[in-house]
Amino acid sequence: MQKKVLLVVWALCWGVPPLLAQELNCRVIVNDKQMQTAQTTERAIFREMEQAISLFMNERQWGQDNYLPEERIGCTLEITLIQGDVNTGNYQATAQIRALRPVYDTDYETPLLIYVDRQFNFRFQKGQQLIFNENVFSDDLTAMLAYYAYFILAMDGYSFAEDGGEEWVQKMNNLVNLAQTAGNVGWRRGDVRNRYWLAENLLSQQLQGVLKAYYNYHRKGLDYYVQKPEAAVEAAMQLVRSMGEAARLKPNALLVAVISDTKAQELASILKTIPAQEQKEVTDIFRRVDPPKVPLFQQAFGQSAAGSLQIQNR
């Protein structure tokens, strides 16, 4: 909401009528390289699928707020088809979701989320229209696409305001509840690292601290990186500490893993010049939170400051 108000005020002050648009600027990729078909006509269905999903993500207005064209959230949805049948339209796939956020008054874009759904199974046939009603579960494909649109909007919202993602998290949870009746993979409580647990984590009181730190990291840290780099370092340390506390309160929390996958590289760049005692604190936290990321920080701490995160004024 904060970023929308600023841009609308700017447009009105300069006498420029705001051009309103949908929330997402989503690049959709359907990777069909693993599909065992040599028929050109069969391959055409994958391009139709790609176009239909792109229209669904980009042309739908997901909430009540109108976005300016320059406000649209840059994101990528890459669906990798593992196996399937063109005739029945049933596919097993994975999906990688990425989203970016501009850092205030710079040309730098920070990753908002990087997440891989390994149970992105759905049905799609030639000529199929993707129709979605947020109050009814009709099929896996539209429900999953809407779910990840909400997830992108939630994490974008949390990066601008402490409670900025709540509306979207409630919508994610509503979809999870509706999907329980279908009993399909990826929506059930018993599955691991899935849509059920992602929504549950975002609602969990035990993890609200890490969401608050996520907000502070973006709005009070990165957005002031050029003017106050020390504030960005402190906000980065707070985020790391909050991840450690979240892992203590809720071991193996999926949300913490998502933040680690998304932010570890950037955090290592920002924190590489901190004192040795804090370097040890960071590596100790990541040994508990995400052990495979420890070498990333060890390498960063062993390098000179010349490789620090490069954010410059626009």
Query: What are the domain boundaries of the chain?
Result: 1-203, 205-314
The amino acid that residue 203 corresponds to is: L
Contacts of 117 (CB under 8 A, 6+ apart): 94, 95, 96, 97, 144, 148, 186, 194, 195
Token couple for 110: 């920070």
Q: What is the pLDDT along the chain (314 residues), one digit of tens a residue?
A: 455 544 444 344 434 444 457 899 999 999 999 988 657 777 899 999 999 999 999 999 999 888 888 889 999 999 999 999 999 999 999 999 999 999 998 999 999 999 999 999 999 999 999 999 999 999 999 999 999 999 999 999 999 999 999 999 999 999 999 998 888 889 998 877 899 999 999 999 999 999 999 999 999 999 999 999 999 999 999 999 999 999 999 999 999 999 999 999 999 999 999 999 999 999 999 999 999 999 999 999 996 444 556 666 66
pTM of full prediction above 0.95 = no
- Residue 156 CB coordination number (10 Å): 24
**Do the Cβ atoms of 140 and 162 come closer than 8 Å?**
no
DSSP helix, strand, coil percent of the chain (3-state; round to 5): 50, 15, 30
CA dihedral defined by 7, 12, 15, 20, rounded to 10 degrees?
A: 60
Token couple for 194: 């899935």
Nearest C-alpha neighbor of 115 from the set 237, 277, 314, 254? 254
Stated as kind and residue range, the H or E segment containing 7 is helix 2-13
The reported pLDDT for the residue numbered 20 is 55
